[in-house]
Amino acid sequence: MSSFRFFLIALLTFFGSQSFGQILIGPVVGVHSSWPVFKDKEIKEFIKPQPFVGYNVGASLSFRVQKKFFLQTSIMYTRKGKDLDGIKDDLDFSNKSKYNYLEMPILYTIEFKGKLGKKGNKEFKWYLGGGPTVSYWMGGKGVLKDGDLVESNVSSLPYKITFNQESADVKKGEMNVDDGNRIQLALNLSAGLILEPVGFNKIMIAMRYEFGHSYLSRTTDGYFGGYDNELFYEDELQVRMQTLNLSLHYFIDLKTDQRKKGKSTIKTKKGKLRR
């Protein structure tokens, strides 16, 4: 199943039976820090994970379900990664991987009003939310540095991530994953600030913490081709990705009739609007 078809089916299934009032749409951009959590806790004795700074870009939809409740989703291209350094007896080791994803977070949010200033005459909105993220792992690339490579007169090995190749077909410069979780799930907790500076245009500054639920692979490690018996390292993939994301959304209201809901444009004799 192609990634586009997968996300199209997910959207139609999730929203097909729903009926919404206000509909907002717009672009989203963000930066985040991601890091792996290993299934094997003892691996921390040999490898030290470092935060990986990545980004996401895409489009968002927000639907008003009730007065204060919204259902928000996005489709984004996301760059995450795994940055590993060696410790103790393997200080020459490092493995920096970049993973490309197509992601769809789905958040239920509730909005609140706050006030600023001594007289409390300046209002703002903020929100809390939560929900799942469905991700499709498209691939990636990385650079491996290791003591075995140095001894083989190779200082570093750039590689491309491939999936489900026969071992004999994996070429030098490729890391193959036999049993990769291409479709991954995560749980989000989110909070943010909402600004409405012009009419019904809406700016949202959002912080989202993503708990990865799926392993990159349940059963196998990534292995490198073209080095025969010269390279013994295999990439540990029984890891879950955790992400702290800061994003900026800009929304435009598609249902312009909602802007005048509850108001009449008929003027009274005194020229005032009748409510």
pLDDT, tens digit only, all 275 positions of the chain? 455 455 555 555 555 445 556 789 999 999 999 999 999 888 878 888 999 999 999 999 998 888 889 999 999 999 999 999 887 666 778 999 999 999 999 999 999 988 776 666 677 899 999 999 999 999 999 998 876 665 566 678 899 999 999 988 999 889 999 999 999 999 999 999 998 876 668 899 999 999 999 999 999 999 888 766 667 788 999 999 999 999 999 999 886 655 444 444 444 444 444 44
Is the separation of the CB atoms in 62 and 71 below 8 Å? yes
Is the separation of the CB atoms in 148 and 230 below 8 Å? yes
Q: What is the pLDDT of residue 269?
A: 43
Structural tokens at position 10:
């997910």
CB atoms within 10 A of CB 122: 10
Q: What is the pLDDT of residue 263?
A: 43
Cα gap 90→84, rounded to integer Å: 12
In angstroms, what is the C-alpha Rg of the chain?
24
CA distance readout (Å), 50 to 94, 135, 213, 221: 10, 22, 20, 20
Cα gap 139→82, rounded to integer Å: 13
Is the separation of the CB atoms in 201 and 134 below 8 Å? no
Domain coordinates in residue numbering, the chain: 3-84+94-138+178-222+237-260
Torsion sign over Cα 258, 259, 263, 264:
negative
* DSSP helix/strand/coil, 8: helix
Structural tokens at position 178:
């036999």
Identify the DSSP state of 226.
Answer: S
Q: Which residue has the tokens 């036999």?
A: 178
Q: What is the pLDDT of residue 150?
A: 54
- Residue 133: which of 217, 50, 72, 68 has the closest Cα? 72
Q: Which amino acid is at 61?
A: L
CA distance readout (Å), 81 to 35, 72, 89: 7, 25, 24
Residue pLDDT, tens place only, 172-193? 889 999 999 999 999 999 999 9
Residue pLDDT, tens place only, 203-256? 999 999 999 999 999 999 998 887 666 677 889 999 999 999 999 999 998 866
Residue count of the chain: 275
Q: Which CATH class is domain 3-84+94-138+178-222+237-260?
A: mainly beta
- Non-local (6+) Cβ contacts of 136 within 8 A are 3, 6, 7, 101, 102, 103, 182, 183, 184
- Residue 259: which of 16, 17, 64 has the closest Cα? 64
Q: What is the pLDDT of residue 265?
A: 40
